[in-house]
């Protein structure tokens, strides 16, 4: 008995499109997994390396990427007049804000944007910011270098940045443009203060339990496997139905 194959152009085109789509998306997920693996390696290396001292020398974007996740120290003073609050930053199930404040590096006009920590939202009056302590005068602070403060979904048009504004998202370039301050191209997630006087009893320090970067490489590998499986199923379905139609014909 001769086995025949029933060839049709439309199923072939559909199969090729599905195979191309599946392989393309699988490779994209694989690249995402590789990025997460590289990020985990950089994070581990940054934790093991000695802290860097951030100076007023302007950093290029490539320099900032090279020191992301490194422990960093910097000396200078806060510029609280241009503090902004990032909304929709929950912590342990409670709504709140991340406090972003420019920090002027000693002996220069260069600044770095410091994420001081997390503050809870007032459930009665949403725009009321709890009292907290920002040190005055020259201090040395330590933290982790990050390229951005994270991004949350934002509906509608973003409000322009202004001093003490509550916004959904803010990046370094936006804040530099709005404030006129020279800013290094990185965010400083503050962890501890060095040489700071005790905070007043009536104010609270922001919570500095920063979320770890998303390192779920296995999740992307799983997605890649699913897309490769889709491409294989499309090919096998085309071959199976071609043989089945051909051999069912009299």
pLDDT score, position 109:
93
The region of weakest confidence among 2-16, 135-149, 171-185 is 2-16
Q: How far apart are CA 143 and CA 83, in angstroms?
A: 18
Over 90: is that where the pLDDT of 200 sits?
no
C-alpha to C-alpha distance for 39 and 212, rounded to whole angstroms:
11
The answer to whether 215 and 40 are in contact (CB under 8 A) is: yes
Q: Is the Cβ–Cβ distance between 161 and 174 less than 8 Å?
A: yes
Residues 114 and 190 in one domain: yes
Is there a single domain that holds both residue 227 and residue 190? no
Residues 178 and 140 in one domain: yes
Residues 151 and 81 in one domain: yes
The reply to whether 106 falls in a domain is yes
Residue 84's pLDDT is 94
Q: Same domain for 109 and 22?
A: no
The mean of the pLDDT values for the chain is: 82
Report how many domains make up the chain.
Answer: 2
Average of per-residue pLDDT across 115-136: 87
Tell me, what's the pLDDT at 86? 92
In a domain, residue 46? The reply is no
**157: in domain:** yes
Confidence (pLDDT) at 199? 46
162/236 same-domain check: no
Residue with token string 């085109």 = 13
For the chain, percent of residues with pLDDT exceeding 70: 80
126 or 213, higher pLDDT: 126
Q: Same domain for 183 and 231?
A: no
Report the pLDDT value the prediction gives residue 105, as an integer from 0 to 100. Answer: 94
78 located within any domain: yes
* φ, ψ dihedrals at 104, nearest 5°: -85, 125
Instruction: Give tens-digit pLDDT for 1-26.
Output: 566 656 677 877 888 888 888 888 88
User: Higher model confidence: residue 128 or residue 210?
Assistant: 128
Instruction: Report if residue 1 sits inside a domain.
Output: no
Place of tokens 């602070």: 141
Kindly calculate the radius of gyration of the chain based on its CA atoms and give it in whole angstroms. 26
- Average pLDDT score over residue span 31-35: 81
Taking residues 160-167, report their average pLDDT: 88
Q: Are residues 138 and 222 in the same domain?
A: no
Q: Examine residue 28 and state whether it is found in any structural domain, yes or no.
A: yes
Mean pLDDT for 93-122 is 92
| Residue 176 is assigned to a structural domain of this protein | yes
Give the domain extent around 21.
Answer: 9-35+217-248
Mean pLDDT for 200-218 is 65
172 and 222 belong to one structural domain: no
Q: CB burial class (10 A; 0-12, 13-18, 19+) of residue 206? A: buried
Q: Is the pLDDT of residue 186 over 60?
A: yes
Average pLDDT over residues 163-187: 91
Q: Is the pLDDT of residue 153 over 80?
A: no
Please indicate, yes or no, if residue 49 is contained in any of the structural domains. Answer: no
pLDDT tens by residue, 38-86: 766 666 666 666 788 998 999 998 888 888 888 899 999 999 999 999 9
SS3 131: coil
Q: What is the mean pLDDT of residues 159-163?
A: 83
CA distance 210 to 189: 8
**Residues 188 and 105 placed together within one structural domain of the fold:** yes
178 and 112 in a common domain:
yes
Mean pLDDT over 130-134 rounds to 86
Residue 95 sits in the same domain as residue 137: yes
């Amino acid at each position: 008995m001769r086995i025949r194959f029933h060839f049709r152009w439309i199923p072939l085109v559909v199969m090729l499109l599905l195979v191309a789509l599946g392989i393309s998306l699988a490779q994209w997920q694989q690249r995402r997994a590789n990025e997460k693996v590289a990020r985990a390696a950089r994070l581990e290396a940054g934790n093991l390396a000695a802290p860097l001292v951030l100076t007023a020398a302007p950093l290029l974007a490539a320099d900032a990427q090279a020191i992301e996740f490194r422990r960093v120290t910097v000396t200078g003073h806060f510029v609280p007049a241009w503090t902004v609050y990032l909304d929709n930053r929950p912590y342990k199930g409670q709504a709140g804000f991340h406090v972003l404040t420019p920090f002027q590096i000693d002996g220069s006009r260069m600044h770095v944007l410091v994420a001081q920590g997390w503050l809870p939202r007032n459930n009665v009056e949403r725009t009321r910011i709890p009292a907290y302590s920002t040190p005055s005068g020259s201090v040395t602070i330590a933290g982790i270098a990050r390229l951005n403060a994270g991004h949350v979904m934002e509906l509608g048009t973003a409000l322009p940045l202004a001093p003490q504004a509550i916004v959904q998202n803010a990046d370094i370039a936006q804040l530099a443009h709005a404030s006129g301050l020279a800013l290094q191209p990185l965010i400083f997630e503050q962890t501890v203060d060095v040489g700071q006087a005790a905070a007043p009893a009536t104010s609270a320090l922001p919570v500095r339990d920063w979320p770890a970067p998303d390192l779920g490489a296995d999740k992307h590998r799983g997605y890649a496997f699913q897309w490769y499986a889709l491409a294989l199923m499309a090919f096998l379905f085309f071959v199976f139905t071609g043989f089945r139609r051909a051999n069912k014909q009299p």
